[in-house]
Amino acid sequence: MAKMEHFEIPADDIERARAFYRSVLGFEYEPWGDEMGMLRQPDGDGVDGDLHVRGPVPHPTVVFTVESIEDTVAAAVAAGGEQVGDIQPLGEATRWVYLRDSEGNVIGLFDEGGTAA
């Protein structure tokens, strides 16, 4: 069973977006370099997300943790979805990939299956 891991919000101006989410929703911001960082719930309750410079996926996405990216992508393709790009490593033991659902929405998948092949 998948669980929601985090959300991702693209921005054209990180500082402007950071200020917006702080003043409107109260999110704290933890920079991870100049082009991205984490939006964190101030009380630790709820789901955190990342704020990053707008790239190939120009709209917000939701990322789900799954047991196996390969199995989930296969199930998505069988149900009318498609993999978007290659499975990417995120550290030594975690990976991510985007997929397009049956309605054309892009979502992210995250697992702890080791490095991408």
SS3 label, residue 82: strand
CA distance 17 to 22: 8
Whole-Å CA distances, 20 to 14, 15, 50:
10, 9, 14
Q: Each residue's pLDDT tens digit in the chain (117 positions)?
A: 789 999 999 999 999 999 999 998 899 999 998 899 999 998 888 899 999 999 888 899 999 999 999 999 999 999 999 999 999 998 889 999 999 999 899 999 999 975 444
The pTM of this model reads 0.82
